[in-house]
Amino acid sequence: MRIGKYESSDGTTGTAITFLLIGLGVGAALGLLLAPKTGRQLRKDLRRSYDDALETASDWTGEAKDRFDEVVEKGGDFADELRAKTKPLSDLLRRP
């Protein structure tokens, strides 16, 4: 769509969110680096944050895998049930 001299694009939401997350990451890193802590304390805090992030990601991955397995199982059960319900109709239509 053209408005005045500028063209607007409809896919800017994803780009805006990406730049927001990049900005948050850079801001957090600068905040940590400029904080009045000794190097040892900063490294300890960074390591702890890194370990917490890994643990959270691992938890999310495990939970996502469990939910995916549940969905696959329910989908298989639904397909079996649908197949059983449509078998009489299928047999009837296949008769010569």
Which tokens belong to 13? 């939401």
What pLDDT, on the 0 to 100 scale, is given for residue 4? Answer: 58
Mutual orientation of helices 12-34 and 39-94 as an angle, nearest 10°?
A: 150
Q: Which amino acid is at 7?
A: E
Q: Rounded to an integer, what distance in angstroms lies between the CA atom of residue 29 and that of residue 79?
A: 50
What pLDDT, on the 0 to 100 scale, is given for residue 80? Answer: 92
Q: Rounded to an integer, what distance in angstroms lies between the CA atom of residue 75 and that of residue 81?
A: 10
- Mean predicted confidence (pLDDT) in 83-94: 86
**57 or 37, greater pLDDT:** 57
